[in-house]
């Protein structure tokens, strides 16, 4: 064993910090009410989170923890829990219990956050190393954004994800449904400087120029304002012909319109598109529209399904996590009439929560089987960094993939330039997802 107590404490504290600590004027997609507040906004961390982050970074906390450990060891040296002090131990739950965070840790999926199953088990070509390299390149690009305060719009995580995917796929045409002030249009343009864009939005981004910063692209065809056409009503054959696109696998479609994602999937299939990105892939029990996370939340998938038993383990864990993470969902928020837990309390939400339809579990199950029948690749964008680094308290880190820059790697966080960004830009993470789809099996 070569790890020092100092290093061991830093690792244990890193895990506990990560796991213990996710309308208005106008919102993305040009709706003025019903927006989900998980979009980027100014938000102060809790006092405890601030203090922990400060002490962790300045190094003032570890001496206190060492002193505390000495006292505890002298009292409980023969107890089983002290096994957690072994630096090589993989029992991170025990480590959290040692630091007083019992039951606040959970593996990805243990509370019902399954990964949508693809037909052949294929995955994306890019690696974590590619994402790290992309982050290094994207941070200085992001700092030049024309819309500095994109409240209720995309934050840093999803801006990076969209930029990275577009740059990797190198499409010949990019389509976005939901433009708001034009930030996502700007992100697509940074990824592909010469590629044409088609933008659909009820309100033209130029309208926002009267109130402040916005972005209007010169190489973009706008179906916006008085010329607005919904994605499902566009004559895509005519649009493809205009842009001389013959291979639809060379088209990337980005949805940030807060519509039922199952509906959008079927419309994209009908049009022949294969590469889709959905910005707001809301977890079960949250959000203003039916999402892929909700659709794929099934009992036959590891981590899927929920218990509405209010005296059970899930209810207890959810209650405790709600104290730490704003977007965590407790049993009362999760479960609807008849203990319906799918979607949002048994509802298939649509159109910024303006249209809600109660569905049966049987319908929900059939929806998941349909998605699986056309799904070649499902990939959720990880958070760019752990919560002790970004200071976010919105999304529950136990309900998302491991971050690109994990807690404890402050040197890497700072070296990538992420430390220069305001903490508020990290509060908009909602599990952005990339899908590659094919025709439904006959």
Q: Residues with Cβ < 8 Å from 259, sequence gap 6 or more?
A: 177, 231, 289, 350, 351
Query: What is the C-alpha to C-alpha distance for residues 101 and 106, in angstroms, rounded to an integer?
Result: 11
Q: How many residues does the chain have?
A: 442
3-state secondary structure of 433: strand
| Beta strand 275-278 pairing with 251-255 | parallel
**pTM, 2 dp:** 0.80
Query: What is the C-alpha to C-alpha distance for residues 74 and 66, in angstroms, rounded to an integer?
Result: 12
3-state secondary structure of 289: coil
Could you list the beta-strand ranges (E) of 140-219.
173-177, 197-201
Domain that holds residue 333: 128-437
Query: Which of 218, 235, 315 has the alpha carbon at shortest distance from 271?
Result: 235
- Predicted confidence (pLDDT) per residue in 13-65, tens digit: 343 343 333 333 333 444 433 455 446 554 444 455 545 544 444 445 555 55
Answer yes or no: is 80 within a domain: no
pLDDT of residue 36: 53
Answer yes or no: is 320 within a domain: yes
Environment class of 293 (CB within 10 Å of its CB; exposed 0-12, middle 13-18, buried 19+): buried
Place of tokens 């690009």: 141
- Predicted confidence (pLDDT) per residue in 265-307, tens digit: 999 999 999 999 999 999 999 999 999 999 999 988 877 888 8
Answer yes or no: is 119 within a domain: no
Environment class of 141 (CB within 10 Å of its CB; exposed 0-12, middle 13-18, buried 19+): middle
Answer yes or no: is 283 within a domain: yes
Can you give the pLDDT of all 442 residues of the chain as single tens digits? 444 434 433 433 343 343 333 333 333 444 433 455 446 554 444 455 545 544 444 445 555 555 555 444 444 333 333 233 223 223 333 333 333 334 444 443 445 466 789 988 899 999 999 999 999 999 999 999 999 988 888 999 999 999 999 999 999 999 999 999 999 999 999 999 999 999 999 999 999 988 899 999 999 999 999 999 999 999 999 999 999 999 999 999 999 999 999 999 999 999 999 999 999 999 999 999 999 999 999 988 877 888 899 998 889 989 999 999 998 999 999 999 999 999 999 999 999 999 999 999 999 999 999 999 999 999 999 999 999 999 999 888 888 889 999 999 999 999 999 999 999 999 889 999 999 999 766 5
Domain count, the chain: 1
Answer yes or no: is 189 within a domain: yes
Answer yes or no: is 23 within a domain: no
User: Is residue 72 within 8 Å of 99, Cβ to Cβ?
Assistant: no
Query: What is the C-alpha to C-alpha distance for residues 72 and 434, in angstroms, rounded to an integer?
Result: 47
Answer yes or no: is 112 within a domain: no
Place of tokens 């504290």: 13
Answer yes or no: is 106 within a domain: no
Query: What is the C-alpha to C-alpha distance for residues 113 and 380, in angstroms, rounded to an integer?
Result: 12
pLDDT of residue 86: 29
> Which CATH number covers residue 419?
3.40.50
């Amino acid at each position: 064993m070569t790890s020092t107590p100092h290093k061991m404490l830093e690792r244990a504290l890193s895990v506990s910090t990560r796991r213990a600590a996710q309308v208005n004027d106008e919102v993305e997609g040009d709706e003025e009410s019903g927006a989900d507040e998980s979009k980027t906004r100014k938000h102060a961390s809790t006092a405890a989170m601030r203090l922990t982050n400060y002490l962790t970074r300045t190094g003032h906390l570890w001496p206190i923890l060492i002193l505390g450990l000495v006292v505890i060891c002298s009292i409980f040296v023969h107890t089983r829990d002290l096994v957690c002090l072994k630096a090589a131990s993989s029992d991170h739950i025990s480590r959290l219990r040692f630091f007083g965070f019992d039951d606040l840790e959970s593996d990805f999926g243990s509370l019902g956050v399954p990964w949508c199953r693809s037909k052949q088990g294929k995955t994306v070509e890019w690696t974590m190393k590619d994402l790290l390299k992309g982050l290094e390149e994207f941070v200085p690009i992001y700092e030049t954004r024309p819309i500095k305060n994109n409240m209720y719009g995309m934050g840093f995580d999803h801006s990076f994800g969209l930029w990275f995917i577009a740059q990797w796929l190198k499409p010949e045409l990019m389509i976005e449904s939901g433009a708001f002030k034009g930030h996502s249009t700007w992100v697509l343009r940074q990824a592909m400087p010469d590629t044409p864009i088609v933008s659909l939005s009820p309100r033209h981004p130029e309208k926002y120029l009267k109130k402040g910063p916005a972005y209007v692209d010169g190489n973009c065809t706008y179906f916006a304002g008085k010329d607005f056409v919904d994605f499902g009503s566009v004559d895509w054959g005519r649009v493809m012909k205009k842009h001389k696109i013959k291979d639809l696998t060379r088209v990337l479609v980005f949805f940030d319109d807060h519509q039922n994602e199952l509906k959008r999937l079927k419309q994209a299939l009908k049009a022949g598109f294969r590469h889709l990105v959905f910005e707001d892939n809301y977890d079960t029990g949250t959000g203003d529209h039916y999402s892929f996370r909700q659709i794929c939340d099934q009992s036959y998938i590891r981590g899927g399904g929920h218990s509405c038993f209010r005296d059970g383990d899930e209810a207890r864990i959810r209650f405790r996590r709600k104290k730490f993470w704003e977007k965590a969902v407790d049993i009362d928020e999760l479960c609807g009439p008849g203990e319906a837990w799918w979607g949002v309390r048994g509802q298939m939400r649509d159109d910024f929560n303006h249209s809600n339809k109660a569905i049966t579990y049987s319908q929900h199950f059939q929806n998941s089987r349909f998605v699986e029948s056309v799904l070649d690749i499902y990939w959720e964008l990880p958070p760019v960094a752990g919560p002790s680094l970004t200071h976010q308290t919105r999304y529950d880190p136990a309900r998302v993939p491991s971050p690109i820059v994990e807690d404890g790697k402050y040197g890497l966080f700072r070296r990538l330039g992420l430390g220069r960004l305001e903490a508020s830009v990290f509060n908009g993470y909602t599990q952005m997802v990339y899908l590659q789809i094919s025709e439904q099996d006959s």
